[in-house]
Structure 1
Amino acid sequence: MNVEVLKTKLLFQLTVEEFLFLLSIDNKTNEKIIETTPSTLNNKYVYGIRGIQNLLGCSRSTANRMKKSGIINDAIIQNSRKIIVNADMALELIKEHNKNNK
């Protein structure tokens, strides 16, 4: 796709494919940006109780209970009030815990 031609089009005239292509390029160099998705990263981290909450899709109180239960302790790094959780490891630990408790 020719970037200069696409830049001259009005936004509503772009197809979804053209729009996504324009979003994925660096405007200064017109080179495609390497996308980093969770699958390309080795470890994904979430931060704080809100991070646990978003990771598990649960309420704040459930996230607190999960942290205090000790199930995901190996995935948690905590220094004072700062909480860092290795998301992949936490999900594996929860899966393992659920498998063992059936």
Structure 2
Amino acid sequence: MYLEELKEKLVWQMTGQELLYLIQESTGLKENNPNRLHELDRQNKRYVYGIAGIAKLFNCSISTANKIKKEGKIKKAILQYGRKIIVDADLALELFSKK
């Protein structure tokens, strides 16, 4: 019942305690549940798009980003269909640092 009342209350009228309770209940994040936090981290992946995204991720030029992609160092992090390129940024950084 208390949760339903909080959902109807305006955010600016809530106390910090009420807002924290509402967030914890709706996301399943509790202080004693660190596994749930880990699951949410995996869901919140960062992606970059295209060669320009790779260049921005590695803070390099477009030509260097092309070289990195063509060398295959980050091949597992790249999903490409035609000219569309999607890169899992965290995985790409991890793979690049290993080689």
TM over 0.5: yes
How far apart are the structure 2 equivalents of 1:95 and 1:66?
12
**Paired position in structure 2 for 1:93:** 95
Per the TM alignment, residue 45 of structure 1 is displaced from its structure 2 partner at its CA by 0.2
Give the gaps of 5 or more residues in structure 1: 1-28, 35-39, 98-102
Q: Deviations over 1:64-84 (max 9, x none)?
A: 000000000000000000000
Structure 1 runs, 4 residues or longer, greater than 4 Å off: 29-32
How far apart are the structure 1 equivalents of 2:76 and 2:44?
17
**Paired position in structure 2 for 1:64:** 66
TM-score, scaled relative to structure 2: 0.58
Per the TM alignment, residue 57 of structure 1 is displaced from its structure 2 partner at its CA by 0.2
Per the TM alignment, residue 30 of structure 1 is displaced from its structure 2 partner at its CA by 5.4
TM-score, scaled relative to structure 1: 0.56
Per the TM alignment, residue 42 of structure 1 is displaced from its structure 2 partner at its CA by 2.6
How far apart are the structure 2 equivalents of 1:57 and 1:95?
14
**Paired position in structure 1 for 2:50:** 48
Give the gaps of 5 or more residues in structure 2: 1-9, 13-18, 24-40
Aligned length: 64
- Aligned identity (percent) is 54
Aligned positions of 1:67-86 closer than 5 A: 67-86=69-88
Higher-helix-fraction structure:
2
2:65 alignment partner, SS class: helix
Aligned positions of 1:27-46 closer than 5 A: 31=12, 42-46=44-48
